[in-house]
Structure 1
Amino acid sequence: MSQVVPEADLFEVREPDTQAIPFVYSSPHSGRRYPPAFLEQSKLDAAAIRRSEDHFVDELFGAAPDLGAPLLLAHFPRAYVDVNREPYELDPRMFDGALPPFANSHSLRVAGGLGTIPRIVAENMDIYSRRLPVNEAMTRIETVYKPYHMRLRKLIARTHARFGHGILIDCHSMPGNIRLSGSGLRPDFIIGDRYGTSASADLSRAAMEFLEDQGFTTVRNKPYAGGFITEHYGRPARGLHALQIEVNRSLYVDEATLEKKRDFDELKGAVTTLMQRMAEFAEHFAGPASLAAE
């Protein structure tokens, strides 16, 4: 059975003294506190189980509170529960017992082993040596997944009420071997807006411009257009915008040792510059109508 732990051990919100900008930052995959009971269930060693982390992304975007925006960050690992999925994207082959009828067992993410309760970590390494009880999945969803999303919804609602609009930045990292299909281009950053449905295209273009001004290679939506969080919370017609930002891991971490590179602080400074310029850019908008999606 999963160990039920206090909410403060699952995630935290780093708040500014006063929220001064209409942004909420979320880092759902950078958690690195592995429950002992989970490690006992896994057949992977302590290094391999970490392969699906968004390593140190919470630190890369750590300046958010200093700039006037809250930062919600997970402490639980993605391999344990993935909150960037629907609440019940579950693979019946992983569990003993019948899944509830409302479970989505046929999504591409489930087929790939990356559902709400993942079957694999990166590089197709199976996490478990045997099936889990169905109530294990339900417990994780009730005690980890739902509280995280409840807190995220509250932050977005508060921001929307305060400013009349809100911008969620969902922060992630990607493997260093990602290449753009057909070109071989290795992007440093990928900006995802669900092909214009989760955020104003102007916001996406601005983010790309601010990164390219610093010498980075950027692309939009390919191969990562945004996951459940971006899709679920982005409602441009209501003045709610959600962008996913993927950072190429090889820029700042040794992917073999999972240790920071010497130029980590330099990249963090570049990300902070992006955040500052995005905040300045948002000041030009009067409200929801001016941020309407194309």
Structure 2
Amino acid sequence: MTATTPEGFRSGFACFVGRPNAGKSTLTNAVVGSKIAIASSKPQTTRHAIKGIVSRPDAQMVLIDTPGLHKPRTLLGERLNDLVRATWSEVDVIGVCLPSNQRIGPGDTYLVRQVAQLPKRPRLVALATKSDLVSGTRIREHLMSIGALEEEVGLRWEHIIPVSAMTDDQVDVVTDEIIGLLPPGPAYYPDGEVTDEPSEVLVAELIREAALEGVRDELPHSITVVVDEMLLREGRPEDKPLLDVYATMVVERDSQKGIVIGHKGTRLRDVGTAARTQIQTLLGTPVHLDLKVKVMKDWQRNAKSLNRLGF
């Protein structure tokens, strides 16, 4: 160990995997202790691998929030699945999220089998997420089903842990057990950093989260957000800064643009108000948010559009 790294210090990378809507992003935020990943009731909300950093006197864990592995219907879906698999092969520990309020189904077994077949398999922890939604009897049944996957798929769980990110139940246990599986090593990031993502990425994600609330079911995957510019307004006193954020919500069709804007612009105003509050909390600065909506036809299926949008 170096002079700056204490004896026995552990460090490494971990990620949570699971079917879409298994509680990965909510658990990531709970473990990191700060909102770095957007969480929504809509499946396939996560689109980037966002890193959250947990620093302690004895360890540093870099937690990567990835999209859910799913059956791709678009070029975007294929690229997101590639991103997921690339992340799996780089981490030291994978936490597999298996929601307690759902039976283990073919989708879960397929996903666990994919992890088991990795050439360099990380250490594995099973997480019975959403444990607050079920009875003690159901949890015990669920934990036994998770244990049975070991023989069925040919892997070994280091730990099987029921957890609820919503009620903060056993989140500290999940953190401790995963950190205990990391190899010895130095800290990768300065103490106090919670993510290495640029502010623009996090701001775009917060706007997208606000836009996803309450829209029709067919819309979520068609929305993406680009931050065009972020700058402090000139001529303001130092103790009263104002950050101007100019952002564009991109959809695939004119009809979707109408849904996002809403009757007389009411929906767009609501999205702006909700997003501005979250951005101010994230950055600690008063914000003026200027939101536009733009149509980019079938962007999820178009390689040029995906490249331009950063996918």
**TM-score strictly above 0.5:** no
Q: Determine which structure has more spread, i.e. the larger CA radius of gyration.
A: 2
Q: TM-score, normalised by structure 2?
A: 0.28
Point out which structure has higher relative CO (alpha carbons under 8 A, 6+ apart).
1
